[in-house]
A and B are shown apart, each in its own frame.
Chain A
Amino acid sequence: MATKRRRILWALPLLLLAAVLWAGAQARRINNEAEILAATGTDAIKMLKAYAEGIQHKDVESLLEHYAQDYSNPAQGFWEQVTRNERDGVRLSDWRSGTPREFSKAEIEEQLQQFLASFTTLEMAKLKLTAVEEIRPEEGTAVLRSVLWVRGQDLESRTFETQATLRFWVQRHGETLLIHRQELLSGETVSGDRRGFSEIARASGIDFVAQQNPLFSTPEWTPEKFGILRYGPAGVSAADYDGDGWDDLFFADGRAPRLYRNLGGSQSSPLRFEDVTVQVGLPQEEFGVNIGLFVDFDNDGDLDLFESRFMAGGLLYRNDGPGADGYTVFTDVSASANLGRGFVTVAAAADYDLDGDVDLYLGRYLDPRKELPTTLFYTRNGQGNSLLRNDGDLTFTDVTASAGVREGGLTLGVAWGDYDRDGDPDLYVANDFGRNALLRNEGKGEDGIVRFSDVSQEAGALDFGFGMSASWGDPDNDGDLDIYVSNVHSGQRWYGQAITLYHYLFNSVRQGTIGQDLATFREIYRYAGADWSDYGDSMVNGNSLLINDGAGHFTEVPEATRTNPFGWYWGSTFLDYDNDGRQDLYAANGWISGRTYDDL
């Protein structure tokens, strides 16, 4: 009863907000504004799509149809490209505006002719709407921000890619929007010969092909509520399990995970792999394995293997060294290991209690049969994560509750890192649909128990969005660990405005779902207050690089840093691929490829 009352008290500000929204005039205004935003965005996308087709077809006439007859800008420059640097076969150029002069439609035509003459063919041309900056419905005008994004071959037959941010002032003429002014905000072109990396999986003997988890097709596991989860798997691990000095590869999978032994290679003989899954004692099939971790859990000098499973508890294989046939022997010791229940998506190991053996943190998602994310933009109905303490003899004890690290999000990324440099590992958890968590390791208390504090908000590490992976690194070489989180940079970002969220809240009152979602709104209110202008945008503005100031506070880099490309990102990681001493980033993109080329 007392809990219930407290819950109601907590919800009061929201109920108040909802009551205000419910008030007739306000509700009509929100409805109206939301509809105008949606209509403007939809029409803008239509115009930009047609514009991109004009570029693809090098059709100046059709491009000029998007400009008003009386186009005029007293101070506009022609687009110019200036080389910033050239190395490793990559030329990098910045776009800028040349000397300002008066622009009419004739100058626009000249500019477009110049642009279209700067390449021979295009394999892709897009104009992404990134923001509707202003709408004046009574005048029929709007200001749009858009990114011109093309890939193709330039005049030197080099592959190039350009992204340039443009601002368009448009005016409605019946069904269509016409540009009556434009401005180049920034732009970048890279070109090269596509020979920096070679795809050698199949040629080197890696014949792995990811498969779906067959259990999702059984009555017991049909994901009635969140069917899309089947497209989530899976991870990959690089580890030298046989200690021969060549890293081996493990591909996790819905149906049949595989271990490939690296047989080595040299200048004269190409790199080769052998699928040794069965030879080392791992099963031919194992359903729902999303991650395998190679860790010397028993400190005997070789790497043991932990595998998560979504529909059952985890698996632990002890590395017993080479057998008579020369293959490493992995022995299944899961039965006594106490690895907890399923729904596991991700895992990371570290010695959190500094007792000399390596412990395990497991991240979980929701039960897709019964649950789906409460709202599109916030949920906390995950199955709960676990911290498993290694007891030294390949058995584990669940210490989640005493350590305070259950978390409640839909976890898709976990990474240990000592961000506060006090000698013990802290934990970052990236969650889908909502907010992430930074859990600071407070060390052993007087009772001998290690506890963690959720410092996400005070440390500036909430990172609202669809978090799908997390990594620690030091890209600014200042000695402390920064965080990279993959997210979604949606083509619908323009729609992620406060008005859309208010509209959703209003509709959830009207449609009677507010009761189910009250806790969700309460949490958003707790983190973002009642002004949701930034919240909506931060949900869909893409990957985040959070820079540590050395005192344990994080700030997301500005958009100009360009670590938030368009797309739907899963794996991401730091790496210094060009050995220049600065950590670069790789980010894996793509959600579900069907028959069309649509994005969200």
Chain B
Amino acid sequence: MSAVAHIDDYKSGLHYSDEFRGEMSWNGYEANNLLRNEGCREGEVDQAGDSCTLRFSDVAHVLGADDLRDSRGVAVTDIDNDGDLDLAINHNTGYEPMTPQGPAALLRNDVGSSRGWLSLQLRGTTSNRDAIGAVVSLEAGGLRQTRQRTAGSGYASQQSGRLHFGLGDAPSVDRLTIRWPSGKEETFEDIPARSRIRITEGEGLEVLSAGH
């Protein structure tokens, strides 16, 4: 509040100095959140019919994914290739004389792989080789999911280059459409769940592993 009452102090940089904060925490020891998508509320589809009021619940603490350190960057990857997404988290040091906040965290997901999934690698030919910017839409189990291949997002972080889709109970992917950065569009059908595949622009689909 003093920053409102004493603007001259604020302008001096006082409020941003270690001396001002002293040994106080500023939002220290706070838990990360894993917000589980509960889907739409029943009967609440809007007039356009294509969206609705989403609802999320924070399950980080009760699943053990909450990490109390001063977290910064987050990278999502299926680090152990078991079919679900794990989390790598970087931190800051915290107030230095304190016990270090700095050790990195790798949170292994032990719940996701009970449901089906598809892991997709893209290789551009006309498009850039990494296929960064490619948009993939997938239909399975009555849901249409969309992901794009990125390199750099969140806070100073990079997510895995492999696109990961959860498939729920669906035994296979009905249809998968890729829009490559070159503008080319390709569609593939009937891909079994729990597969790792690679699609090369204009050259088709390779199954790297299937049915784990």
User: Could you say which residues of chain B place their CB within 8 Å of the CB of A596?
Assistant: 23-25, 28
Q: Are B56 and A577 within 8 A (Cβ)?
A: no
Q: 1/0 per position for A545-569, CB-CB distance to B under 8 A?
A: 1010110000001101111010110
- Chain A: interface residue total (CB-CB under 8 A): 166
User: Could you say which residues of chain B place their CB within 8 Å of the CB of A354?
Assistant: 181-183
Q: Are A599 and B113 within 8 A (Cβ)?
A: no
Q: 1/0 per position for B62-96, CB-CB distance to A under 8 A?
A: 11110111111111111111011101111111111
Q: How far is the CA of A538 from the CA of B130 in the complex (A)?
A: 38
In angstroms, how far is the closest chain B Cβ from the Cβ of A138?
24
Further pairs besides A210-B102, A351-B127, A581-B168: 9, Cβ < 8 Å: A199-B64, A236-B73, A416-B152, A477-B146, A479-B50, A579-B83, A586-B34, A596-B24, A597-B28
Q: Could you list some 10 contacts between A and B, CB below 8 A?
A: A225-B16, A227-B16, A236-B74, A247-B79, A247-B162, A299-B128, A361-B152, A571-B71, A573-B159, A588-B71
- Give the contacting residue for B104; candidates A209, A294, A299, A479; CB below 8 A: A209
Closest to B179 in A: A423
In angstroms, how far is the closest chain B Cβ from the Cβ of A390?
9
In angstroms, how far is the closest chain B Cβ from the Cβ of A209?
4
Q: Are B78 and A247 within 8 A (Cβ)?
A: yes
A412 on interface, CB distance cutoff 8 Å: yes
Q: Are B75 and A581 within 8 A (Cβ)?
A: no
Q: How far is the CA of A191 from the CA of B107 in the complex (A)?
A: 19
Q: Are A376 and B30 within 8 A (Cβ)?
A: no
A218 on interface, CB distance cutoff 8 Å: no
Q: Are B62 and A562 within 8 A (Cβ)?
A: no
Q: Are A562 and B55 within 8 A (Cβ)?
A: yes
Q: Are B129 and A249 within 8 A (Cβ)?
A: no
In angstroms, how far is the closest chain A Cβ from the Cβ of B81?
7
Q: Are A92 and B57 within 8 A (Cβ)?
A: yes
Q: How far is the CA of A416 from the CA of B22 in the complex (A)?
A: 39
Q: Are B148 and A549 within 8 A (Cβ)?
A: no
In angstroms, how far is the closest chain B Cβ from the Cβ of A202?
7
User: Could you say which residues of chain B place their CB within 8 Å of the CB of A245?
Assistant: 81, 208
- Give the contacting residue for B141; candidates A88, A226, A576, A581; CB below 8 A: A581
Q: 1/0 per position for B160-199, CB-CB distance to A under 8 A?
A: 1110111110100000000101110000000000000000
Q: Are A568 and B183 within 8 A (Cβ)?
A: no
On whether A293 and B76 interact (CB within 8 A), knowing A245-B81, A571-B157, A589-B33, the answer reads no
B151 on interface, CB distance cutoff 8 Å: yes
A147 on interface, CB distance cutoff 8 Å: no
In angstroms, how far is the closest chain B Cβ from the Cβ of A280?
17
Q: Are B157 and A235 within 8 A (Cβ)?
A: yes
Q: Are B4 and A507 within 8 A (Cβ)?
A: yes
- Give the contacting residue for A416; candidates B8, B40, B72, B150; CB below 8 A: B150
User: Could you say which residues of chain A place their CB within 8 Å of the CB of B153?
Assistant: 348, 413-415, 469-472, 573
Q: Are A575 and B7 within 8 A (Cβ)?
A: no
Q: 1/0 per position for B1-30, CB-CB distance to A under 8 A?
A: 101111110110100111001111111111
A190 on interface, CB distance cutoff 8 Å: yes
A381 on interface, CB distance cutoff 8 Å: no
Q: How far is the CA of A92 from the CA of B33 in the complex (A)?
A: 15
User: Could you say which residues of chain A place their CB within 8 Å of the CB of B158?
Assistant: 235-239, 250, 291-294
- Chain B: interface residue total (CB-CB under 8 A): 139
Q: Are B129 and A296 within 8 A (Cβ)?
A: yes
- Interface segment, one of A63-71, A165-173, A508-516: A508-516
Q: Are B166 and A576 within 8 A (Cβ)?
A: yes
Q: Are B90 and A251 within 8 A (Cβ)?
A: yes
On whether A570 and B35 interact (CB within 8 A), knowing A211-B102, A471-B153, the answer reads no
Q: Are A198 and B108 within 8 A (Cβ)?
A: yes
Q: Are A588 and B73 within 8 A (Cβ)?
A: yes
In angstroms, how far is the closest chain B Cβ from the Cβ of A172?
20
In angstroms, how far is the closest chain B Cβ from the Cβ of A205?
10
Q: Are A584 and B36 within 8 A (Cβ)?
A: yes
A233 on interface, CB distance cutoff 8 Å: yes
Q: Are B53 and A558 within 8 A (Cβ)?
A: yes
Closest to A291 in B: B156
Q: How far is the CA of A237 from the CA of B35 in the complex (A)?
A: 21
On whether A348 and B151 interact (CB within 8 A), knowing A197-B109, A291-B156, A479-B144, the answer reads yes
- Give the contacting residue for A195; candidates B6, B30, B110; CB below 8 A: B110
A234 on interface, CB distance cutoff 8 Å: yes
Q: Are B151 and A350 within 8 A (Cβ)?
A: yes
Q: Are A578 and B111 within 8 A (Cβ)?
A: yes
In angstroms, how far is the closest chain B Cβ from the Cβ of A334?
18
User: Could you say which residues of chain A place their CB within 8 Å of the CB of B59?
Assistant: 90, 92, 190, 192, 196
On whether A589 and B154 interact (CB within 8 A), knowing A351-B127, A476-B54, the answer reads no
Q: How far is the CA of A292 from the CA of B83 in the complex (A)?
A: 25
User: Could you say which residues of chain B place their CB within 8 Å of the CB of A346?
Assistant: 152, 155-156
The 3 closest A-B pairs by CB, nearest first: A235-B156, A348-B152, A196-B63
User: Could you say which residues of chain B place their CB within 8 Å of the CB of A508?
Assistant: 7
Q: Are B71 and A192 within 8 A (Cβ)?
A: no
User: Could you say which residues of chain B place their CB within 8 Å of the CB of A440?
Assistant: none
A332 on interface, CB distance cutoff 8 Å: no
Among A239, A253, A549: residue with most chain B CB under 10 A: A239
Q: How far is the CA of A319 from the CA of B179 in the complex (A)?
A: 28
User: Could you say which residues of chain B place their CB within 8 Å of the CB of A161?
Assistant: 58, 61-62
Q: Are A345 and B1 within 8 A (Cβ)?
A: no
B202 on interface, CB distance cutoff 8 Å: no
Q: How far is the CA of A576 from the CA of B74 in the complex (A)?
A: 14
In angstroms, how far is the closest chain A Cβ from the Cβ of B26?
5
Q: Are B27 and A567 within 8 A (Cβ)?
A: yes
Q: How far is the CA of A346 from the CA of B78 in the complex (A)?
A: 23
Q: Are A581 and B146 within 8 A (Cβ)?
A: no
Q: Are B8 and A511 within 8 A (Cβ)?
A: yes
On whether A197 and B102 interact (CB within 8 A), knowing A212-B93, A568-B30, A588-B89, the answer reads no
Q: Are A198 and B71 within 8 A (Cβ)?
A: no
Q: How far is the CA of A301 from the CA of B125 in the complex (A)?
A: 10
Q: Are B103 and A202 within 8 A (Cβ)?
A: yes
In angstroms, how far is the closest chain A Cβ from the Cβ of B55?
6
A587 on interface, CB distance cutoff 8 Å: yes
Q: Are B27 and A568 within 8 A (Cβ)?
A: yes
Q: 1/0 per position for B113-136, CB-CB distance to A under 8 A?
A: 111110000001011111011010
User: Could you say which residues of chain B place their CB within 8 Å of the CB of A568?
Assistant: 26-27, 30
Q: Are B72 and A550 within 8 A (Cβ)?
A: no
Q: How far is the CA of A434 from the CA of B32 in the complex (A)?
A: 24
Among B8, B50, B155, B170: residue with most chain A CB under 10 A: B155
- Give the contacting residue for A159; candidates B17, B61, B75, B208; CB below 8 A: B61
User: Could you say which residues of chain A place their CB within 8 Å of the CB of B79?
Assistant: 238, 246-247, 249, 262, 271
In angstroms, how far is the closest chain A Cβ from the Cβ of B147?
7
User: Could you say which residues of chain B place their CB within 8 Å of the CB of A191?
Assistant: 62
User: Could you say which residues of chain B place their CB within 8 Å of the CB of A220?
Assistant: none
